[in-house]
Amino acid sequence: MHKKIILLPGDGIGKEVTAEGKRVLQKIAELFNHHFEFDEASIGHHAIEAAGTPLPDETLSKLKNCDAILFGAVGHPMYDNDPTLKVRPEQGLLKMRKELGLYANLRPIKLFDELLHVSSIKSEILKGSDILFFRELTGDVYFGERGRKDDRATAYDVMIYHRYEVERIAHKAFQAARTRKKKVTSVDKANVLESSRLWREVVQDVGKQYPDVQLEHQFVDAASMRLIQNPRSYDVVLTGNLFGDILTDEASQIAGSMGMLASASVGDTVGLYEPIHGSAHDITGKGIANPLASILSVALLLDISFGLKEESEMVIKAVEKMLKEGYRTADIADSDTDKSKILNTQKAGTIIVEQLSKLPRVAHV
């Protein structure tokens, strides 16, 4: 298979973890005789410094002409500390999602048994949790009208959804549920918000086309509680952009660390794969970032964009094996971890690449 992949390392630890994701893709190509062609492009603070804009035209044109994108993260403390700055890294992210039509963000929350005790939630509540979030990505308050009133002391962000936006992601969620436990939980705030009432109405309509899938609705406040109280009660969770942003970070605690969770953003064209964490400037340059979220994003890329199921499963197995053998990065280590098995970013990537060479091939029918 010949595919073109654009690497978008971005800022902070984005660069460090994407380098390890690339090594894993190279190893997979070597083992399975694929040809993955790589090109790199700039985004975020890095791009603002170089070109004055967080998403240069050159980057956008590369992204529109490739088979998949592996993204790191954007962000820099100077913007976090100064909300008045007009040109900001996250504008590049929002524009990229809009321009590429990436309307569905998939975030699998799957717990590796070895990390059960790393989470701040009790193991008996967590064990067996396996949730797939579908967060809508190109609508909601993030893209609605916003501004300040003349007095500058009043601000607004309009929460807006169109029927077609809810329909297309709802179909994706129901289709995914069919391959899993056949349950969709749609999360909204329909007791208060009109846009949520439309959301609920459309999800119910789409749900009628999937009678084999159980549909339930929850208000976002109740869902945020139940997620921690009984995570096993969820299979596929379908929600809007703002609620999804918050709930998926909450759910990251089920997996123990932000450094373990991958995501895929898909629409009708190219897919974009990225860890759910940000640029983590508190640990940038120290070589301690956990690259597993980026490596698990590679597994999603191989499966969703290239249909390479065996290759994707091998990457997940390599991560499982690394954890089973007691290796950890600092964020997922605890007092029981053998200190000699705490790995830096590059060494963790090396262990995964070595595991891939040792793993037997899984036959697929």
Which of the residues are catalytic? 142, 189, 221, 245, 249
Contacting ligand NAD (CB under 6 A), which of 278, 300, 301, 322? 278
Would you mind telling me the total number of residues written for the chain in this entry?
365
Contacting ligand NAD (CB under 6 A), which of 92, 231, 256, 259? 259
Contact status: 283 vs ligand NAD (CB under 6 A) = yes
Strands 146-148, 155-157: pairing is antiparallel
Contact status: 231 vs ligand NAD (CB under 6 A) = no
Contacting ligand NAD (CB under 6 A), which of 247, 280, 298, 314? 280
Contact yes or no for 68/36 (Cβ under 8 A): no
Identify which of residues 105 and 218 has a Cβ nearer to ligand NAD in the complex: 105
CA of residue 41 relative to chain centroid, distance: 20
Contact status: 279 vs ligand NAD (CB under 6 A) = yes
Calpha distance 13→19 (Å, rounded): 10
Identify which of residues 82 and 150 has a Cβ nearer to ligand NAD in the complex: 82
Identify which of residues 159 and 262 has a Cβ nearer to ligand NAD in the complex: 262
Calpha distance 98→218 (Å, rounded): 28
Calpha distance 18→41 (Å, rounded): 12
Closest distance of CB 284 from ligand NAD, Å: 9
Contacting ligand NAD (CB under 6 A), which of 40, 67, 80, 320? 80
Which regions of the chain does DSSP assign to beta strands (E)? 2-10, 35-40, 68-73, 104-110, 130-136, 146-148, 155-157, 183-188, 214-219, 236-239, 262-266, 271-275, 328-329, 342-343
Contact status: 289 vs ligand NAD (CB under 6 A) = yes
Calpha distance 338→352 (Å, rounded): 18
Q: Which of residues 46-75 bind ligand NAD (CB under 6 A)?
A: 73-75
Contact status: 200 vs ligand NAD (CB under 6 A) = no
Contact yes or no for 305/106 (Cβ under 8 A): no
Run of H or E including 181: none
Closest distance of CB 101 from ligand NAD, Å: 18
Contact status: 43 vs ligand NAD (CB under 6 A) = no
Query: Residue holding tokens 């008045």?
Result: 84
Q: Determine the Cα angle at 351 with ends 347 and 25, to 5°.
A: 100
Contact status: 308 vs ligand NAD (CB under 6 A) = no
Q: Which stretch binds ligand NAD (CB under 6 A): 26-34, 59-67, 164-172, 275-283?
A: 275-283
Closest distance of CB 93 from ligand NAD, Å: 6
Identify which of residues 66 and 276 has a Cβ nearer to ligand NAD in the complex: 276
Number of residues engaging ligand NAD in binding (CB under 6 A): 22
Binding site for ligand NAD (CB under 6 A): 13, 17, 73-76, 80, 90, 93, 258-259, 277-283, 289-290, 293, 331
